[in-house]
């Protein structure tokens, strides 16, 4: 557990590679993330184009890239791993397919049990959320005390995501390893300035 969480950056859901490239480079040059996650929502051929572009931008900056759920795309396009959006169920399979060196993360909503199951199955990190008011996830928001308990009890790194605000960044800063930001910035006129308002 580090003193300050690291930035875990997510692409916009359904993003077009051609439109995203310059914006993504600008954001990452100003705020280097620890990891970059390609979110789903696009057709597979567009996701493939996105994977190639994002990999080039991220790997040039020594940033790992994971993709939502698509194990085959991760393999085919030289990504660093997958982020499983359905909790712990696919962790063992993803690990088996991608190997020991790949990153396998699991989104576990607000379920301590799912998080522990994912960790036991070999997940490299677990994410909980939403932490703010959001339609993301199953059930209610993930409470701050879940992150506090996890960081004190479990060694597997934890990510906070979903409806992040500046206030939540401050509250979570001692209780999680990574804070995932994406939807909060991409709809704004300047994603870089929107991130600065949340993160600095």
Query: What pLDDT sits at residue 133?
Result: 81
Query: What pLDDT sits at residue 1?
Result: 42
State pLDDT tens for residues 33-78. Answer: 999 999 998 889 999 999 999 999 999 999 999 999 999 999 999 9
The domain ranges of the chain are 6-199
**CATH number among 3.90.1150.10, 3.30.70.890, 3.40.50.720, 3.20.20.70, domain 6-199:** 3.20.20.70
Residues 6+ apart with CB under 8 A from 79: 38, 51, 55, 65, 66, 67, 73
Query: What pLDDT sits at residue 140?
Result: 80
Query: What pLDDT sits at residue 136?
Result: 52
Select from 27, 95, 39, 99 the least CA-distant residue to 66. 39
Give the chain's residues under pLDDT 70. Answer: 1-2, 134-139
Residues 6+ apart with CB under 8 A from 16: 42, 46, 50
């Amino acid at each position: 557990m580090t003193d300050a969480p690291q930035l875990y950056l997510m692409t916009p859901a359904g993003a077009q590679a051609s439109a995203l490239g310059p914006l993504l480079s600008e954001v990452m040059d100003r705020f280097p993330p620890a990891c970059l996650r390609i979110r789903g929502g696009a057709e597979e051929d567009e996701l493939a184009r996105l994977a190639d572009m994002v990999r080039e931008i991220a790997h040039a900056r020594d940033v790992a890239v994971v993709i939502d759920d698509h194990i085959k795309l991760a393999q085919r396009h030289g990504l660093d791993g997958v982020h499983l959006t359905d909790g712990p169920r696919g962790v063992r399979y993803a690990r088996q397919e991608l190997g020991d060196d790949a990153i396998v993360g699991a989104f576990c909503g607000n379920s301590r049990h799912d998080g522990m199951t994912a960790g036991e199955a070999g997940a490299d990190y677990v994410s909980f959320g939403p932490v703010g008011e959001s339609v993301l996830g199953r059930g209610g928001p993930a409470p701050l005390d879940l992150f506090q308990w996890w960081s004190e009890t479990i060694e597997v790194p934890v990510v906070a995501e979903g409806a992040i605000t500046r206030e939540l960044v401050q509250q979570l800063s001692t209780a999680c390893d990574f804070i995932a930001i994406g939807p909060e910035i991409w709809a704004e006129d300047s994603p870089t300035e929107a991130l600065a308002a949340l993160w600095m």
